[in-house]
Structure 1
Amino acid sequence: MSHIVKVLEARFITHDVKRFVVEKPKGFDFIPGQACDVSINLPLWKEQLRPFTFTSLRDSKFLEFIIKIYSDHPGVTNELGKINAGDELILHDVFGAIKYVEPGIFIAAGTGITPFISIFRELYKNNKLFNNRLIYVNKTSNDIIMGEELHRMLKNNFTSVLTRENTVGFIGKRIDRKFLIENIVDFSRHFYVCGPDNFVKDITHHLLDLGADADTLIFDK
């Protein structure tokens, strides 16, 4: 089943990431961490479905998406970059393998943070975020999504890693096997991993190699 929803708010929150607030259809539900296929309600674009993650609270009266806009080629996200309040999107099927099980270590790269935002907001609202940790990697400090809110919710359990910049308060290096050994004490914990395919593949490989249990690794397969 699909739903046509009106865009209530659309604005850039970084140089290439845009936040969309849209109407929430009656009875519409999702589990924090899940996504749905979205298309633009225009003749040339309504059949062009792309998956985006919900970042709003489950019981919110609206839905929120945080989407990276690729303006270097004429695709769906480039078109979304032109969408404003009053325009319409089409919501399709809800899906996703990422959901919260128990406290653990979240490892995200770039917009891979989006499924974790909804999870963190839900846990924070219910005072259950303690004993969870986030390691979040970006190229530069300008690429960090919702950094202030993540810091406010997670406090000292938020580690920001920048791969192309050395800035006070941030770790300037790549997340590789050596980094994981130096920064994670207990590999028997649950791990939640999200980001580009190669990032997820490399991190999950390293975690398994370092003793993590495949049953405690949660990522979109």
Structure 2
Amino acid sequence: MESHIVKIKTIKQVTHDVKSFRIEKPDGYVFTPGQATEVAINKEGWKNERRPFTFTSLNNEPTLEFTIKRYADHNGVTNQIHQLVPGDELILHDVWGAIEYKGPGYFIAGGAGITPFLAILRQLHRDNQIDGNTLFFSNKTAADVIYEEELKNILGRNDINILSREQKEGYESGKIDEGYLRSHVSDFNKHFYVCGPDKMIADINATLEKLGAKPDLVVFEK
């Protein structure tokens, strides 16, 4: 498996526990919006600790971007990555991933599961092809919403934020379940793009099938 050692160029705080990392792009490195790679930190003790992260940049940009949530409850890779500074190095591997845009539909994301959709929605916006797409984005609180302003700018009223642990004006509250989908989805013949925690993906996919969505139109990382 091919690997590339690349330097971090810039780091930006996105939310209280999410940062975006702009890094060098290896020559000839190509991906489709929605795809990912395995990343490791180029430091002793961490070089073999590879974790999957989705590209949130666009393929035509001169640098790569990852948008990474920190899980500080254990001393894992994301916790270490959040301690890095510009000039530190990461190790990238091959590009992979089954999530890609197939046509207009509904994007259903939970927390950091928004990351594969960021590149897709940014590309659609850039290409003036965003019409017909809706985002249902579930988070615990408003402070957890990643790139909220940008997504609102891209999708307008079709950017819908749902909070599971907070009630706040301008946001819906509750969870994305059968009742929610039944009342918010007008066409179950469109594509559905699902990404989030494993249990959420399984529950949403089962609910979509029950409500009449065609399995071959449901896109998720298998």
Fold conserved (TM > 0.5)?
yes
Map 1:130-141 to 2 at 5 A.
Answer: 130-141=131-142
Residues 4-49 of structure 1 deviation map (CA, whole Å, 9 limit, x = unaligned): 0000012321111111000001110000000000000001101110
- 2:204 alignment counterpart: 203
- 2:102 alignment counterpart: 101
Residues 93-113 of structure 1 deviation map (CA, whole Å, 9 limit, x = unaligned): 211110001111000000000
- 2:184 alignment counterpart: 183
SS at match of 2:19: strand
Residues 113-148 of structure 1 deviation map (CA, whole Å, 9 limit, x = unaligned): 000000011111010011111000000000000000
- 1:162 alignment counterpart: 163
**Matches of 2:192 and 2:76 in 1, distance apart?**
33
- 1:117 alignment counterpart: 118
**Matches of 1:163 and 1:191 in 2, distance apart?**
21
- 2:87 alignment counterpart: 86
Task: Give ranges in structure 1 of 5+ residues lacking alignment.
Answer: none
SS at match of 2:56: coil
- 1:152 alignment counterpart: 153
- 1:52 alignment counterpart: 53
- 1:12 alignment counterpart: 13
**Matches of 2:71 and 2:11 in 1, distance apart?**
16
- 1:42 alignment counterpart: 43
- 1:23 alignment counterpart: 24
Question: How big is the shift at 1:57?
Answer: 0.9
**Matches of 1:57 and 1:70 in 2, distance apart?**
26
RMSD: 0.6
Task: Give ranges in structure 2 of 5+ residues lacking alignment.
Answer: none
Question: How big is the shift at 1:63?
Answer: 0.2
**Matches of 2:207 and 2:125 in 1, distance apart?**
29
SS at match of 2:138: strand
- 1:68 alignment counterpart: 69
Equivalent residue letter for 1:135: F
Question: How big is the shift at 1:51?
Answer: 0.1
**Matches of 2:58 and 2:31 in 1, distance apart?**
10
- 2:144 alignment counterpart: 143
**Matches of 2:118 and 2:156 in 1, distance apart?**
15
SS at match of 2:21: strand
Residues 39-96 of structure 1 deviation map (CA, whole Å, 9 limit, x = unaligned): 0000110111000000001100000000111112111111111111010000012111
Equivalent residue letter for 1:125: R
The TM-score with structure 1 as length reference comes to: 0.99
Equivalent residue letter for 2:23: V
Question: How big is the shift at 1:186?
Answer: 1.0
**Matches of 2:185 and 2:164 in 1, distance apart?**
19
Contact 1:71 1:81 in 2 (8 A): no
**Matches of 1:3 and 1:161 in 2, distance apart?**
38
Give the percent of matched residue pairs that are identical in Structure 1 and Structure 2.
50
